Structure formats: C-alpha cells, structure tokens
Structure 1
C-alpha cells in the first residue's frame, strides 16, 4: 500500500515546484471539478508514459475515494523515478479546498 497524504497536506503543497498532483479520474469528472493545479491522466495514459516521464520529487495521485489512486501510486513507485509517491486519502470526496472547472 502506498503512503497516504491528507487533503490538507495536498493543499499546502500545491505551490511547491517539486510537487505534482495527478487526478486519475476520467476526463469528464475532471472537467466538472478538480483541484486547481492538478493534471489529468487516466490509469491507461499513466501506464503508457510512466517510464519516459520525468517526475517531480513528490507526486500524489487523486481519484474518487482513494482506491484507484493507490494503484496509480504503486505503479509509479515501481516504474517511475519520483522520490516520494502518495495516494490522497479519501480522494476527491475528502477534498474541501477550492475546486476548478473546465469550461
């Protein structure tokens, strides 16, 4: 199991240059509401780019409730080059910070 990062900790790290938040929900859900600054990559896209991508030192994955983000985090721990990889505890359902939409 990948370590979890509390949503409050995510919010405090969003401006850090060495931190990346990846929202692995489907693009439609991402467009309807996501954490500002998060990038959207599905699990399928992640599997295609994980080894070629240069990851920031710290990467956190966000999904609906914290289950699929565990899978993504374990995948990047195994095949990626990030130093610290996390799953956001509780997913977007636990997020009470600002939300951005794509319109």
Structure 2
C-alpha cells in the first residue's frame, strides 16, 4: 500500500488555483524543464535528488512530477519513508494541457 497520494494533472491544476501550501518539483532533466514546466516548479533532476534533498522544504506538501510518472513515483516512495509529505502526479508532464505552464527561467 502506498504511503502517499497520487493525483491527476487536473487535480494539480485545482491545487495551483487555490494556492495550496506546496512546492512542485520537476524531476526531469534541465533541458526538458526549460522547454516547459509547471509554473512555480523547481527543477531537481531525479538523478540529483539524493544530493539535493536539503533543498526540499519540510513545511510544505511536495508535489513530484516527471516525464511519464515512474521517477516521481520512485521519489515519493523514498521521501515518504523519510517522513516528507509527498504527492505523486500520475502519468507525467507529457500529458499536461493546462494553463499553469511556464518556459525558461
């Protein structure tokens, strides 16, 4: 059984609209992030997550997404066991067609 919720892109849109106390983390590589990402998302590539874990706020819900959903699930598994409040975004950014996207920095 998972120790964290998995939400859809549409549900994340609702959270962004309401201004929930969260930090969205994009686990894709820098090039993919620069091409487009959720507004307000920080880029921590999955391969760098362990070494950059101290950059994650402990007082916010951490919303993880990647390209297709597998790396964000792995990140949530790891961090939920360490006590972080995490949420996985199902299916990844490649399916997102909402209004909360940004490009560049």
TM-score, reference length from structure 1: 0.83
SS of structure 2 residue aligned to 1:13: helix
- Report the number of matched residues: 100
What CA RMSD, in Å, does the superposition of the two structures yield over aligned residues?
Answer: 1.9
Over 2 Å off, 4+ runs:
49-57
* 2:23 and 2:57 in contact (8 A); partners too: no
Distance 1:101 1:41 in 2: 16
For 1:3, the equivalent position in structure 2 comes to 5
Among 43, 49, 59, the residue aligned to 2:52: 49
Uncovered stretches (5+) of structure 2, i.e. residues with no partner: none
Q: Report deviation, 1:94.
A: 2.3
Uncovered stretches (5+) of structure 1, i.e. residues with no partner: none
- In the TM superposition, 1:21-100 aligns within 5 A as 21-50=24-53, 53-79=56-82, 81-83=83-85, 85-98=86-99, 99-100=101-102
TM-score, reference length from structure 2: 0.81
